[in-house]
Amino acid sequence: MDTFRRAALWALSLAFVCVVLAFAARNFIEAAERDRIFPKVALVPKRRTAIVLGARVYPDGTPSPILADRVACALELYRAHKVERILVSGDHRKSHYDEVNAMATAVLRAGIDERAVFRDHAGFRTLDTMQRASIVFEVHDAIVCTQRFHLPRSLYLARSFGIDAVGLVADRRAYPSALHSALREGVADVTALFDLALGRSAHFLGAHHPITGDGRSTLDRKDVEE
């Protein structure tokens, strides 16, 4: 029984430490990025590029509501002449799961010039997206399109890789997964700070595709291993 109690005490202590770390990381990143988050297109300052962060795609290739709203956010920015380029970045590690072209297809169907649409097939994590945006796509300034819970970490990582980034809140409805996402974000904040402290890099970098060029050069997935 004593062994069980000691184990339970250690488990509770560890859980408490994890909660404190997550809370502290969340508060730190929120405070750092609060003034760079905008609720409306009319309020956000102009940047060259909209970065759309990947999220779940259904088996038939349909974007989930969270992802669809991120794409809609980028389209609104482009139509308002707040951005000139759209970079869609997500997971296309496997040929049968493709967040990237799901986003690109939605953007192109809306009538956006394909030359202005860049595909990042190796945006497996937010860190990967932002480092690749900086190095591979040579993005110097951007408006990040994602939900409110995700924006502080996204902006913090973007700025850590030298991108002058602001964020536009993409929330356009209530999401069934909102509570889970918010809780998970605290852990992700801690992970992001550790990743930066340890100098961890994106899984792939590869050939450069400057955002000032032609987005059609990013149609393939040469930087992604099967």
DSSP 61-119: SPBPHHHHHHHHHHHHHHHTTS-SEEEEE-B-SBTTB-HHHHHHHHHHHTT--GGGEEE
Average predicted confidence (pLDDT) for the chain = 88
Q: Work out the burial of residue 148: count CB atoms within 10 Å of its CB; fewer than 13 is exposed, 13-18 middle, 19 or more buried.
A: middle
Digit-coded pLDDT (tens) for 30-59: 887 999 999 999 999 999 999 999 999 999
Of residues 35, 62, 57, the one with CA closest to residue 155: 35
Digit-coded pLDDT (tens) for 58-75: 999 899 999 999 999 999
* pLDDT, position 116: 98
Exposed e or buried b per residue across 34-60, where buried means at least 16 C-beta atoms within 10 angstroms of its C-beta = eebbbeeeeebeebbbbbbbbbbbeee
Token output for 81: 């002449």
Phi-psi label, residue 117: left if phi above 0, alpha if psi -120 to 50, beta otherwise: beta
Phi-psi label, residue 111: left if phi above 0, alpha if psi -120 to 50, beta otherwise: left
- Lookup result for tokens 């970098």: 205
Chain-centre distance for alpha carbon 54: 6
What element of type H or E holds 130?
helix 126-135
Digit-coded pLDDT (tens) for 119-176: 999 999 999 999 999 999 999 999 999 999 999 999 999 999 999 999 999 999 988 8
Of residues 50, 68, 72, the one with CA closest to residue 58: 68
The β-bridge partners of 49 are 85, 142
Token output for 219: 């149609």
Mapped onto helix, strand or coil, the DSSP state of residue 191 is: helix
- pLDDT band, residue 16 (cuts 50/70/90): very low
